[in-house]
Amino acid sequence: MVNYQTKIMNNKFLILLILIGVSISFSGCFFYSFKGTSIPAEVDSYFVERFDVRSSNAIPTLGQTLSEALKDKIRAESNLNQTETDPDIEFKGVVTDYYVSSEAPQAGETTAFNRLTITLSVEYIYHLDEKKNWKENFRSFSDFGSSVNLIDVQDDLIDAIQEEMIEKIFNKAFNDW
């Protein structure tokens, strides 16, 4: 009798372990589908052309900085290979706006802070299916104190803007967001 009860307990324990394992597996797949990239299996290469700068106010190296950041993001978060010859997907871009505006006006004709805004026009070329090509403007900004000189904080502002902008581009290209 004890032997029979032990077998039942072992079976119940085994079934419980299987159910826990299955539920963890499904929850992992469900979670991954929201966080992972959705790159088609036939895509294995990319190319990011050095972005042009057409805004007269922008620093000359901004296009290179942004294109290198996009390359780094793709390299870090996908298994795609970078190539200049016959890539499956390609990115081209142009910095179209780079400007500082006064925000949050206060009494006495002063402002509480300034805002650096950068706009990058990106063309995504999917060589395997032209229907999936797109062109979109990505705009991001970062604020800084009105008493601060732009030159003193420009690099930090660009870093913050770049991070947000590259995330938007990556999500548009690889996550269908």
DSSP string covering 61-75 = THHHHHHHHHHHHHH
Instruction: Give CA–CA dist 28/25, Å, rounded.
Output: 5
- pLDDT tens track, the chain, 177 positions: 555 555 555 555 555 555 555 454 444 433 333 345 678 889 999 999 999 999 999 999 999 999 999 999 999 999 999 999 999 999 999 999 999 998 876 666 677 889 999 999 999 999 999 999 999 999 999 999 988 999 999 999 999 999 999 999 999 999 865
Q: Is the pTM of this model over 0.85?
A: no
The closest alpha carbon to 126, from 57, 51, 55, 43, belongs to 43
Helices of type H across 48-142:
62-77
